[in-house]
Amino acid sequence: MSSLRVHCFAISLEGYGAGPDQSLENPLGRGGLALHEWAFATRSIRQMFGQDGGSTGIDDGFVARGFENIGAWILGRNMFGPIRGPWPDESWKGWWGDNPPYHCPAFVLTHHARPPLAMEGGTVFHFVTDGIEAALDRARDAAGGKDVRLGGGVAAIRQYLRAGLVDAMHLAIAPALLGSGEPLLAGIDLPKLGYERTEFTPTPNATHVIVEKRG
C-alpha cells in the first residue's frame, strides 16, 4: 500500500505551523513567511517557480525528497484558499496561478461540494466532502501505486496524525518565533500513537526532523 507522507512542513521554535490572522493578503499568517525562508533559498523551490540559482545542499535535498514517488496530494481547505463556508462561485482556483506545483491529482478536504477543477501541468483538484479517510482512499487510488503527500495545513495534518494515518513526516524547524498562531503538535502524543524520530539533521537555516510510524 502506498504511504501517506508529510514533507517540508515548517514550524516555528514554539511549534506553530502558521502565524495568526491568516488572510488573502497574509496566507501564512503574520510572520508566517519566516518559517519558509530555508526552502525559498533552495534550487528545487526556485526551479519550481521558474527561477534560476538557489542552494544545492542539505536543505535542497530535503525539498527534492518531498517530490520523489508522489502520485497524489491531499490538501486542507485552507491550503487551497482563504474562502470559508459554501463556495460563493467557482472563480477561486488556488493560490498558485494557472499552473500549480502539484502536477497530479490533489484532493481538497472540505464540507462544501464543488466540481473537479483541472489546471495546467496535470493538476486536477478534487473536492472531498466525506472525510479524511475517504480522501486518502481516493488519493491512493489516483496515485497508481505511488505515495500520497499530505500538504497541510495544520488542521489537516493534526487530523491525520490523530488517526494514525501518517506514515512519515518531515518537519523543518525554522529559527523563528511567531508568538502565536496554529500549533501543530499541541495535545498530540506522538509516541503513544506509535511514532518515533528516525532522522535529525540541523543546518544553518533549519533543523530537519523525520518522524515515522513504527511497524
pLDDT band, very low/low/confident/very high, at 22 (cuts 50, 70, 90): confident
The answer to whether the Cα torsion of 99, 101, 105, 107 is positive or negative is negative
CATH of 4-18+30-85+98-213, one of 3.30.70.100, 3.30.390.50, 3.40.50.1100, 3.40.430.10: 3.40.430.10
pLDDT reported for residue 1? 81
pLDDT band, very low/low/confident/very high, at 23 (cuts 50, 70, 90): confident
Tell me the mean pLDDT in the region 177-195: 97
Whether residue 215 has pLDDT greater than 80? no
Which of residues 40 and 84 earns the better pLDDT score? 40
Whether residue 48 has pLDDT greater than 90? no
Determine what percent of the chain is predicted with pLDDT higher than 90. Answer: 90
Cα distances from 66 to residues 22, 27, 69, 103, in angstroms, run 25, 22, 9, 14
Q: What is the pLDDT of residues 130-170, one digit of tens each?
A: 999 999 999 999 999 999 999 999 999 999 999 999 999 99
CA-CA distance, 3 to 122, in Å (whole number)? Answer: 21
**Structural domain spans, the chain:** 4-18+30-85+98-213
The set of cell numbers assigned to 192 is: 503513544
Q: What is the mean pLDDT of the chain?
A: 95
Closest CA to 67 of 9, 161, 173, 148: 148
pLDDT reported for residue 46? 93
Cα distances from 109 to residues 28, 48, 112, 113, 147, in angstroms, run 18, 24, 9, 10, 18
Q: What is the pLDDT of residues 52-97, one digit of tens each?
A: 999 999 999 999 999 999 999 999 999 999 888 999 999 999 999 9
CA-CA distance, 73 to 105, in Å (whole number)? Answer: 6
Tell me the mean pLDDT in the region 16-40: 92
Q: What is the pLDDT of residues 85-140, one digit of tens each?
A: 999 999 999 999 999 999 999 999 999 999 999 999 999 999 999 999 999 999 99
Which of residues 215 and 64 earns the better pLDDT score? 64
pLDDT reported for residue 125? 98
Contact 148, 72 (CB under 8 A): yes
Which of residues 88 and 24 earns the better pLDDT score? 88
CA-CA distance, 58 to 120, in Å (whole number)? Answer: 30
Name residue 74's amino acid.
I
